[in-house]
A and B are shown apart, each in its own frame.
Chain A
Amino acid sequence: DSGVTQTPKHLITATGQRVTLRCSPRSGDLSVYWYQQSLDQGLQFLIQYYNGEERAKGNILERFSAQQFPDLHSELNLSSLELGDSALYFCASSAVGGNTGELFFGEGSRLTVL
């Protein structure tokens, strides 16, 4: 158990819909990262938040948005869903301390768009 909790574990929805994925980081971790893993793209970095502020942005579509709340949990909002958005979405967290620290990943949220 990494200590990172993601909900829901599975989600099935239709094209054009909007979903919200939730992530609770490990206690005390200030950084939250979102990754997308699809069969043909591998693990793609989407976005990082640090203590409530956006810190880095990767290949995140404009239809996707995220935020980190004062209690440090984070949400990834996916809208106008397309078939190609079907993927595993992972959240990870890390403590403050530069780049010697590890990232702890949750078990992922599997999104299926029909």
Chain B
Amino acid sequence: DAKTTQPNSMESNEEEPVHLPCNHSTISGTDYIHWYRQLPSQGPEYVIHGLTSNVNNRMASLAIAEDRKSSTLILHRATLRDAAVYYCILRDALEPGTASKLTFGTGTRLQVTL
């Protein structure tokens, strides 16, 4: 699996935007970029994913560099409930009808303060 690099921790003030970076310089052309987060005492939760274009959903936005060697998860207005470990994961594209595993790294622990 191609590797991702994320900062160990970040801090943000509530109501401020948060940009969580991820480097994946060895990404292959068919790797999807996935983001999951894990709130305290819970299982991981899907946030967003993309391949080449920027993506938006109700939780966050994903900005993907043109060369795909890095990406940024954007939380537009951080709340205390967004305090979690955020994982950036590359997922191999396989033939339709199968689904590959996720390989979690150490992620970024986001602290949100008032």
Which residues of chain A have a CB within 8 Å of any CB of chain B? 2, 4, 31, 33, 35, 42-45, 48, 50, 55-56, 58, 90, 92, 94-108
Q: Is B113 among interface residues, defined by CB-CB distance under 8 A? A: no
Given A98-B93, A105-B44, A106-B43, verify A45-B99 contact (CB < 8 Å). Answer: no
Given A48-B101, A56-B100, A94-B99, verify A99-B91 contact (CB < 8 Å). Answer: yes
Once bound together, how far apart are the Cα atoms of A50 and B97, in whole Å?
10
Q: Are A100 and B43 in contact (CB under 8 A)?
A: no
B14 to chain A, nearest CB (A): 26
Q: Are B98 and A55 in contact (CB under 8 A)?
A: yes
Interface size on B, residues (CB 8 A): 28
Which residues of chain B have a CB within 8 Å of any CB of chain A? 32, 34, 36, 38, 42-46, 49, 87, 91-107
Chain B hits for A101, CB < 8 A: 99
Q: Are B106 and A96 in contact (CB under 8 A)?
A: no
Chain A hits for B45, CB < 8 A: 2, 105
Q: Sorted from nearest, which 8 A-B pairs have the closest CB atoms?
A: A105-B43, A102-B46, A43-B104, A31-B99, A94-B99, A99-B91, A105-B44, A98-B96
